[in-house]
Chain A
């Protein structure tokens, strides 16, 4: 039985444990039908031309973990940003771990989807927001919607801001030979609310993990949302991250994606601007080695006038790694005075590494500023000699140049401890012991 059949046939068993009268349940039923019709995307789909899920479809993934596992905080501490105090929403093999988490209902709701689904008090919010910006058409998103049960639920009411950043951590223990996870996150920042979120997926062993995640983010008028994705997983972990963002007037949403590890990563990051004077920022640093594969597919839909979007993706590809950047920008006819900027710069460190970079601009308004640029090159030999002539060894000099190349993406990280952590991960990834205190 292939993975698609297994998933579709598991849906009935999955439904058993759910409240079928809940208004969101119809969404699940419709979604499984869509997934059943469409199946997994293949290379024949234009959007999946360079990323194949074929090898994953052959793996016999457990869809529901059989065991519950408890972990000691000290063993997983390093995966947290533990230098600062944060709220934590932690899942172990897809199951919420209250022991490792720190949630709150004090003015804001920082908790989990399963409780939001089961308690009446959250029903009005779910009715307004759940599955409202996520695609009902895209098959992997539908697959996630069908099995949506657990994930992070974050609701920030009007004019509120949580006291500290929120970390969402998905851990896979390796207790299953191969495990499929489908977390579903809902993040709502009402008018003038503000929130900072860090999300990480981490496999703790070499057993195979396939995560198909969906996150919906709603930013009200004047709201500010910072979302940081740390993708530095084990070489046997694959991730498809589908993030959908809906923004209202004057809101600012910044998503930073740091992709340093994992077997296969596909980021589908979609911004929908539903108001004026919106600022959408999409930034990414990708540093790959071995046979790693990362595919960034971004979409910014400018649907109203006077909005901005800033995209800046840097990629460094070593060994036989492959990267994809597909940046789609749609500017509707009424979205005059749009200012859309897109940049994708890449360095290939090896003649076996590959990057496929494609801007995709669809502009229907006539008074807009849209710029895009893409570069693919090697490390500058002259610069390398310059640094080495000052006593910086070759490996460190290369690392410094690579770090400098990615640096302006890091500049906009607003949590200094997170920035320091990312710097450390980059130094590890590049095999140098340097502070990069640039």
Chain B
């Protein structure tokens, strides 16, 4: 489904991604781990189309189509979803109406009519219940005054609403207590299917106990230095990243 080939990206002449290769098939969950500053969030944002980064060499293919020239919204219309590490506060736009706008704009791009209001409401009710989100919460301004955990839960709610083909969860576990983590992970697991794929970016093994990955990759200094199965995450938890840094330096 997703094929990243030799991807390079830089910001203000500083190269952050230095040749990433990654292949994610439909139905798979991949975890990307790595120390701070290794380029994990950059990778996530570059896939989502953040224009702040300059993509040099390499390509990102979704179902064989090069995303390179596509805007963030066009990528979203093709089924790319990014759960933000730091969701942006948007005063004046309620969660519900933001979702209505997002879904209907995506439908418009696909030549579909607006989703009927009752269908939309039903979906909002269903997905918010799945993530144990209080109804009152949905009429509040998007992310404004939300706690860290509420923001992350709201991201997964949006994911559930958008039903993306490829979801990238950027440190969705940070800011979550154990109960919230369980709810969020449970929500993500319900969204797993044979036709979609999920990339989970995290520092810690903890989240991976709940969202069990098929593959684990370690990103260090802009490159994937090691790939393996879920056991790799346990090994990292135990040994830290230093041994990989040394290995990469060789």
Give A437 to B81 CA distance when docked, in angstroms. 24
Identify whether the interface residues of A are mostly helix, strand, loop, or mixed.
helix
Q: Quick one: given A391-B162, A392-B105, are A386 and B71 in contact (CB under 8 Å)?
A: no
Query: A394, B71: Cβ atoms under 8 Å?
Result: yes
- Taking CB atoms and an 8 Å cut-off, the chain A residues in 348-394 that contact chain B are 380-383, 385-394
B58 CB–A CB distance under 8 Å: no
Q: Quick one: given A389-B76, A394-B71, A438-B97, are A401 and B90 in contact (CB under 8 Å)?
A: yes
Give A253 to B93 CA distance when docked, in angstroms. 28
B36 CB–A CB distance under 8 Å: no
Interface size on B, residues (CB 8 A): 35
Query: A390, B48: Cβ atoms under 8 Å?
Result: no
B50 CB–A CB distance under 8 Å: yes
Query: A393, B93: Cβ atoms under 8 Å?
Result: no
Contact partner of B82 among A381, A389, A438, CB < 8 A?
A389
Chain B residues whose CB sits within 8 angstroms of the CB of A401 once the complex forms: 90
B106 CB–A CB distance under 8 Å: yes
Interface string of B94-108 (1 = CB under 8 A from A): 100110111101100
Report the number of A-B residue pairs with Cβ-Cβ less than 8 Å: 82
Q: Quick one: given A381-B52, A400-B101, A404-B92, are A386 and B76 in contact (CB under 8 Å)?
A: no
Residue of B whose beta carbon sits closest to that of A388? B72
Q: Quick one: given A437-B97, A438-B93, are A388 and B52 in contact (CB under 8 Å)?
A: no
Give A434 to B93 CA distance when docked, in angstroms. 13
Chain B residues whose CB sits within 8 angstroms of the CB of A391 once the complex forms: 73, 76-77, 102-103, 105-106, 109, 162
Contact partner of B49 among A389, A397, A405, A408, CB < 8 A?
A389
Chain A residues whose CB sits within 8 angstroms of the CB of B92 once the complex forms: 403-408, 438
Give A434 to B98 CA distance when docked, in angstroms. 12
Minimal beta-carbon separation of A287 from chain B (angstroms)? 15
Chain A residues whose CB sits within 8 angstroms of the CB of B88 once the complex forms: 380, 382-383, 386
B158 CB–A CB distance under 8 Å: yes
Query: B73, A386: Cβ atoms under 8 Å?
Result: no
A36 CB–B CB distance under 8 Å: no
- Taking CB atoms and an 8 Å cut-off, the chain A residues in 266-322 that contact chain B are none
List 28 contacting pairs A-B, 8 Å CB cutoff, sorted by A: A380-B88, A381-B52, A382-B88, A385-B52, A386-B84, A386-B88, A387-B98, A388-B49, A388-B76, A389-B49, A389-B73, A389-B76, A389-B81, A389-B82, A390-B76, A390-B162, A391-B109, A392-B73, A392-B105, A393-B109, A394-B73, A404-B90, A404-B93, A404-B141, A405-B92, A408-B92, A434-B101, A438-B92
